Amino acid sequence: MSTKKTKVKKILIGLVGTILLALIITVGVFEIKVSNFEKRVSNYEIKQADMVIDTYGSPDNPSLLLMHGMYMDGKMLAEYCMELSDDYYLIIPTYHGMEGNQETVFESFDTECRYIEDYLIAETAGHIDYAYGISMGATMIYHMLERGNISVNKAILDGIYAANQGPMAAYMTSSYYYDFHEKALAGEDFDLGIMRVSCKLMGITEQEAKDMIINDMTKNHMTLENMSLAAYANYTYEPDPDVVIKDTQIELWCGSNEPYAQKSHDIIKEHIENYSETIFDGYGHGELLSKHRDIFIEKVREAVNIAN
C-alpha cells in the first residue's frame, strides 16, 4: 500500500513540477514579448501630417471639444453628437493613425495633445467652454488640463482610464485586437479568447465587443504600429502626482459595470478640486454614448446648463 502511495506522490510531484515549469516558460515568453513590444513602441519612425480636426455648428455658439476613444475616429463621435451642433460649436479632432491615413503615427499623449492645443490656441485663443471625452479621449482631456496650455470651463470625463494597467495589457490589447481587426476586414469570424477579461473590465458582453470591432474598428484601418502606440499610451498613463486641477469643473462619468473606470475615478479624485461623479446604473464602457444616445445628449446638455 505504501509503495502505491509513494508512486502516486511521485506522479503528483512530477505533474506539479511540469505545470510550474510550463508556467515559468509561459511567463518568460510573455516577458520577452512585452519587452520587445516596449522596444518596438519606442523605436517607431514618426511620420506626421497636420491633425484632422473637424468643426460643426456656428463659431458664435459656446465651444464644445469632443475627444474620441481608442481605435475610433472623430467622424464616428460626430455621428453620435451631431444634434449638439445646433447649440454648440463642436470641435472634433481625430488622432494621428486613426484617420485612415496609414502614413501617420500616434506617437504619444503629449504629441497628440500638443497638436490639439496648437489648434485651439490659434482658433479660440486657447479657451474652450466645454469638453467631453470618452475612454482614451477622457484621459487625453485630463492630460491637457495637466499640461496647462489651454483653459476649459467644464470637462466631462466619460470612462477615463488612469490606473496604469501596464505594458502587458497594452501588448495583449493591441496584438489581439489587431488580429480581430484583420479577420473582421476579411469577413472571417473570430473568438475573443483571453480578451474576454477585457470585456469584464469594460462591463460589456462578448458580442458587444465583437460588434464594436466589426462595426467601428474596421472603418479606420489602423496599423498594428498605431494600435500598439495608442494602447501603450493609454494603458501606462498615470496622473502627474505634482499637478492638481483647480480651475476646471470636472464631471466623472462611467457605468456601474465598469470596475476599471471606477478605480480610475478614485485615483483622479486625488488630483482635482472641483468635481462631481455620476455612475450610470447597468451601463458598461461607452454604452451611454453608443446605446443610449438620447439620454447622452440630455445629460451633456444638463451638465453644460449646470455649468452656466
Rounded Cα distance, 218 and 308, in Å: 39
Q: How high is the mean pLDDT of the chain?
A: 84
* Percent residues over pLDDT 90 in the chain: 55
Q: Above 60 in pLDDT, residue 22?
A: no
Tens digits of residue pLDDT in 279-298: 999 999 999 999 999 999 99
CATH 3.40.50.1820 matches 52-164+232-307: yes
* pLDDT for the residue numbered 29: 37
Which position has the grid cell 496604469? 164
Tell me the three cell numbers of residue 198. Answer: 477585457
The domain segmentation of the chain, as residue ranges, is 1-40, 52-164+232-307
| Residues contacting residue 210 through CB under 8 Å, at least 6 positions apart | 180, 190, 192
* pLDDT for the residue numbered 256: 96
Mean pLDDT of 65-70: 96
Q: Above 80 in pLDDT, residue 42?
A: no
Contact 278, 253 (CB under 8 A): yes
Q: 96: number of CA atoms within 13 Å, CB side?
A: 23
Tell me the three cell numbers of residue 200. Answer: 469584464
Contact 62, 195 (CB under 8 A): no
